[in-house]
Chains A and B, each alone.
Chain A
Amino acid sequence: MKIDHLVLWCADYNATSEQLFAETGLASRDGGWFPSEAIGQRIVPLGNGQFLEIESKLDDAKFREFAGPVASFMDDAVREHPCFLTFWVRTDDIESAAARLGVDVWTVRKTMPDGREMYGKTAPPTLDAIAQGLPVFLWLPEDSPHASRMSVTHRAEPERIAWLELGGTEDRIAEWLGPEWCDLPLRFTGESPGITALGIAMRDGSEIVLRPTAGGLCAPA
Chain B
Amino acid sequence: MKIDHVALWCNDLHETAAQLFEETGLASAEGGWFETGIAQILVPLGNDQFIEIESVVDRRKWDEALASFGLEPFGRFLDDKIAGGPALVGYWILTDDIEAKARALGAEIMSLSKTQPDGNVISGRGTPPTPDAIQRGLPSFWVSDSGGMEVHGSRARVEHRVEPAGISWLEVGGDEQQLRAWFGPEGEALPLRFAGGSPGIRAMGIATEDGDEIVLRPSAGSLRVR
Contacts and interface: CB of A to CB of B under 8 A. Distances in A.
Interface of A: 11-15, 18, 21, 27, 29-30, 32-33, 35, 38, 40, 56-62, 111, 113-115
Contacts of A115: 18, 21, 27
Interface stretch (B57-65, B93-101, B125-133): B57-65
A111 B14 contact: yes
A13 to B, nearest CB: 7
Contacts of B55: 58-59
A30 B117 contact: yes
A15 B33 contact: yes
B33 A59 contact: no
A58 B57 CA distance: 5
B60 A58 contact: no
Contact of B119 (A27, A61, A62): A27
A21 B57 contact: no
A5 B212 CA distance: 46
Contacts of A113: 29-30
A15 B57 CA distance: 10
Contacts of A57: 57
A35 B15 contact: yes
B208 interface: no
Query: Which range holds the interface residue count of chain B?
Result: 20 to 34
18 contacts: A11-B57, A11-B58, A11-B60, A12-B33, A12-B37, A13-B57, A14-B115, A18-B115, A32-B14, A33-B15, A35-B14, A38-B12, A56-B57, A58-B55, A59-B12, A61-B11, A111-B14, A115-B27
B201 interface: no
A148 to B, nearest CB: 19
B59 A60 contact: yes
A52 to B, nearest CB: 16
Contacts, number: 67
B57 A12 contact: yes
Interface string B40-80: 00000000000000010111110000000000000000000
Contacts of B223: none
Given A11-B61, A59-B12, A35 B18 contact: yes
A184 B27 CA distance: 41
Question: A interface, by DSSP: helix, strand, loop or mixed?
Answer: mixed
Interface string B8-46: 000111110010010000010110110101010000000
Contacts of B29: 113
A111 B18 contact: yes
Contacts of B30: 30, 113
Nearest to B57: A12
Nearest to A32: B14
Residue of A30, A38, A40, A59 with highest tally of chain B CB at under 10 A: A59
Contacts of A58: 11-15, 55, 57
B225 to A, nearest CB: 23
Given A56-B58, A115-B21, A29 B33 contact: no
A214 to B, nearest CB: 14
Contacts of B57: 11-14, 40, 56-58
B21 A38 contact: no
A47 to B, nearest CB: 20
A38 B12 CA distance: 7
A14 B117 CA distance: 9
A127 to B, nearest CB: 19
Contacts of B18: 35, 111, 115
Contact of A12 (B11, B21, B58, B119): B58
A62 B12 contact: yes
